[in-house]
Chain A
Amino acid sequence: MDSLLKQRLELLEQASEIDSDIKNTVIEFADKFEKKYSLEMTEDNSSMLITHLAMALSRIKKGEIVEAMDSLALDEIKQCKIYNDLPEFYNDIEERLNIILPQSEKDFIALHACTLVLK
């Protein structure tokens, strides 16, 4: 994860939009993602995924729910070659933050993760 992505997370933490547990969880997620897919997460390729994930985790911690994604879009995401890898990342996040990720949030995270790997 490059310094600009870390700066994003720090700004969100300073503004109390996320807490330090979420910031650290997102950093750990990024480290694991980079290793698994042999890529470097940067401001250019990953700002959407990192920002979305941080805000989604904050939303889940507060008990806010987002509506499910359009089913046609979801069908397309399910064709992505890494889609079936993602539960291991979700499990880590759930254990680390002691939360349950709703399916609607998993789908949006998958959308951004698949977009990054396909770039």
Chain B
Amino acid sequence: MVKFVVGGQVEKQNIADLIKEVGGEDVEVTVKSDLQAANDVKSGKADYYLGACHTGGGGALSMAIALLTRAKTATISMPGKPPKEENIINAVNEGKLAFGFTGDHYEKAVPIIVREILKK
């Protein structure tokens, strides 16, 4: 069972629903504020953080960066720069724990992130 927590600022419930849809019985998903969500990963209550905002580099990941360090986070997409599967695979394999993307890219980003994490 992999524990996901959804932080960020936008599309939170949609992201959580999609994680559950892709991961099924293999995942547990909780929606929290970005600060609480990042803290859950830091304290071991959750395994991975996903979050979206309008720029991908603002509210999606900033508190995760502050609490988990930049080395454990990956910005998966930005405005006009959709997620790339190869970058997500690399980020997961490098051991990143928090993934940020723009709200309009969640439908593309989330399934790849969840699938790659469940392969580990």
Q: Could you list which residues of chain A lie within 8 angstroms of chain B, going by C-beta atoms? A: 4, 7-8, 11-12, 14-15, 17, 43, 47-48, 51-52, 54-56, 59, 64, 66-70, 108, 111
Contact = CB atoms under 8 A, between A and B. Distances in A.
Contact of A51 (B34, B67, B69, B81): B34
A90 to B, nearest CB: 17
A108 B55 contact: yes
Interface residues of B, number: 21
A70 B63 CA distance: 26
A67 to B, nearest CB: 4
Contact of B9 (A14, A15, A48, A67): A48
B67 A66 contact: no
A68 B78 CA distance: 11
B33 to A, nearest CB: 7
A8 B36 CA distance: 11
B81 A67 contact: yes
B89 interface: no
A55 B78 contact: no
A4 B33 CA distance: 12
A94 B79 CA distance: 24
Interface string B61-73: 0110111011000
